[in-house]
Amino acid sequence: MKSTLKNIASIQTGVFAKPAPNGDLVYLQARDFDDSGELTGSLHLDILAERVSENHILRTGDVLFASKGTKNFAAVFEDQNPPSVASTSFFVIRIQNEAILPQYLAWYLNNPDSQQFLKSFARGTSIASISKAVLDDLEIFIPDLKTQELILKIIQLRNTEKELKKGIEILREKLIQQRIINAIQ
């Protein structure tokens, strides 16, 4: 099945809020994520809930899309995260169709082909930005749920493989350095 994003999800912008010293909510910004869209570091409750509409508080399964700047990525808001709102750097995509998994949508948006397509429509002189209209009209290929789950499993296994290869390379480098030191002593 193929559908435009606007037919399977609602898209809203994040909010602009000023930090408060003893907040109730986390104010997620692009800098809180690494290049692959994973949350990094510790999050701080720095926004007062009373200053934010209930509709802007993130729900499990919301997909955040960083639309501004050169680092455009999608990430899924998970239930283990503290109560949060997204900054204006993000569009919040709330899926309204049970035929698509949030993790699949995030993967689809992060896919190099989708990224290239979206970046080709980025506009702005100092900070490039992808508009809501471009996201609305993005065509999403939606396989059945079982296929989506298999795709996500393959991606998970591939990421595990990359981490293992990185670990092997670090150990190999240590071994070589140790052998060189042993040879010169």
For the stretch 35-44, pLDDT in tens is 777 888 778 8
Please say if the pLDDT value at position 66 is more than 90.
yes
- Percentage of the chain lying above the pLDDT 90 cut: 65
Kindly report the CATH number assigned to the domain that includes residue 133.
3.90.220.20
**Domain match, 8 and 67 both:** yes
- Give Dmax (Cα) for the chain: 69
Residues pairing with 2 in the sheet: 141
**Domain match, 148 and 132 both:** no
**Domain match, 7 and 90 both:** yes
| Final residue of a structural domain among 142, 157, 174 | 142
Q: What Å distances lie between residue 75 and 42, 50, 175, CA to CA?
A: 17, 26, 37
**Domain match, 114 and 54 both:** yes
Q: How many domains does the chain have?
A: 2
Give me the pLDDT at residue 48, please: 85
**Domain match, 100 and 175 both:** no
**Domain match, 87 and 127 both:** yes
| Final residue of a structural domain among 127, 142, 157 | 142
**Domain match, 103 and 138 both:** yes
List pLDDT tens digits, range 77-94: 987 888 899 999 999 999
**Domain match, 17 and 84 both:** yes
Give me the pLDDT at residue 70, please: 81
74 is in which domain, residue-wise? 2-142
List pLDDT tens digits, range 120-131: 888 887 788 999
Please say if the pLDDT value at position 65 is more than 90.
yes
**Domain match, 43 and 126 both:** yes
In contact, 28 and 83? CB cutoff 8 Å? no
In contact, 35 and 73? CB cutoff 8 Å? yes
**Domain match, 167 and 111 both:** no
Average confidence (pLDDT) over 108-120: 92
Confidence (pTM): 0.87
Please say if the pLDDT value at position 180 is more than 90.
yes
- Please give the residue that has the higher pLDDT: either 128 or 170: 170
Give me the pLDDT at residue 19, please: 83
**Domain match, 88 and 153 both:** no
Please say if the pLDDT value at position 7 is more than 90.
yes
**Domain match, 151 and 112 both:** no
Q: To the nearest whole number, what is the mean pLDDT of the chain? A: 91
